[in-house]
Every structure is written in structure tokens, then in C-alpha cells.
Amino acid sequence: MAQQLPALPYAYNALEPHIDEQTVRLHHDIHHNGYVVGLNTTLDKLAKARETGDHSAVPGLMKDLAFHSSGHVLHTLYWESMAPNAGGEPTGALADQIVKDFGSFAAFKAQFTAATVGVKGSGWGVLAWSRDYQSLQIVAPEQHQNLADWGSTPLLVCDVWEHAYYLKYQNKRAAYVESFWSLANWAGAAARFGAAKG
């Protein structure tokens, strides 16, 4: 079953002025779609390897699978991590858990910002729920798949590949991440937290 590019959950210009329409259009329609196509191509090649019994390409395909699948999953969550007229702070159980695990919302935000702005090269800032530790954690994968942490469910993600911000912010990644906080969809993150924690 081939994977599909999910529709953007708002209009291309809905994140203005924080993220410009052209960036969202290119990011969703070209970049995100590229990971969907790459994932489906990789899955087709793995199916062919099983059919033919020729597994010589499988080690390389494992790298492609991790890259494209993680890219697709994280981008899908990225669009859901933002919303027009959002931002502010979470409320309810997620807010309580943030205080429990990070001390305060301000301390969480400072750590997430430092981790995200500080990614070496292309990558992400991720707030995740660890089922094993029953706690929130911040991880900052490089590309999409490296430095990821097993057993955790991402709740809120910020893309810091240059394609996410360069048209509007050029090299000012920190200014883009600051704008991300004006778009953070805490209602969506709280719903994902509730589902993950059970």
C-alpha cells in the first residue's frame, strides 16, 4: 500500500507572517512529497528483492528506508505541530507533565530552543513521550533518522533544515525557531500526549 502525501491542514498562507506562503508551498509540495516518493520507491525495491531473491541492495535500502520514512513521519507531524493563531503555553495534563519533567514551561522552552537551534546541519527539535521512562524528553535528530531515540512518541516537532526557513530568515535559524513558538499547536500536542500516555 503506497503512502500518500497528506493534505496541509490549513491554507498555504495560514502561517504568515511567521512562515511565508512560498516556503510552506515548496516545503509541503516538493520537499515533503519527495520523502513520500522516496519511501514508496524504497518499499518497491524491497518487495522486488524479496521476489527475486537478490538481496544485494538491501543494506543500502535500509538507509533509504530510515531516511525517507522518518522524513515522511516527521513532516506529517510538523504540519500538525503548527497552527494559525496558536502558540502560548499548553494547559492540562501536558502542562503538568512539562513542569514535572523540566521544572517549568520556561525551562522546557529554553532547552528545546537550545537543542533545536544547535542541531549540526539539517535536523529537528522533537518533544517526545517516552513510554519506557514515563516521561517527556527532548531529542534533536540529525537529518531525520540519526540520533533518534527508540520507544518514544513525538508530540511536537520543529524542522530546522534550511528549506524550512531560508527564504524568509536566511541564516537566522534562531529567529525562525522563535517564530515557531508563535505557531506551536499545543492543543494537538496535548491530544497526542493523551493518546501516547494512555
Residues that bind Mn ion (CB under 5 A): 159, 161
Nearer to Mn ion, 80 or 159 (CB): 159
**Other Cβ atoms closer than 10 A to 114:** 14
Nearer to Mn ion, 71 or 90 (CB): 71
- What residues contact 121, with CB distance under 8 A and at least 6 apart? 142, 143
Choose between 165 and 193: whose C-beta lies nearer to Mn ion.
Answer: 165
Which residue lies nearer to Mn ion by CB, 108 or 124? 124
Q: Measured from the CB atom, is 19 or 98 closer to Mn ion?
A: 19
DSSP reduced 3-state for 130: strand
We find the least distance from the C-beta atom of residue 89 to Mn ion, in angstroms, to be 25
Q: Which amino acid is at 26?
A: L
CA distance 73 to 154: 10
Smallest gap, in angstroms, from Cβ of residue 90 to Mn ion?
24
The residue at minimum Cβ distance from Mn ion is: 159
| Residue number, 73 or 196, with CB nearest to Mn ion | 73
Cβ(63)–Cβ(164) below 8 Å: no
CB of 163 to Mn ion, least distance (A): 5
In the complex, least distance from residue 30 CB atom to Mn ion, rounded to whole angstroms: 10
Q: CB–CB of 56/153 below 8 Å?
A: no
Smallest distance from the beta carbon of 161 to Mn ion, in angstroms?
5
CB of 23 to Mn ion, least distance (A): 10
Query: CB of 185 within 8 A of CB of 82?
Result: yes
CA angle, corner 163, sides to 66 and 18, nearest 5? 120
CA atoms 104, 176, 121, 152: torsion sign: positive
User: Which of 94, 107, 114 is CA-nearest to residue 160?
Assistant: 114
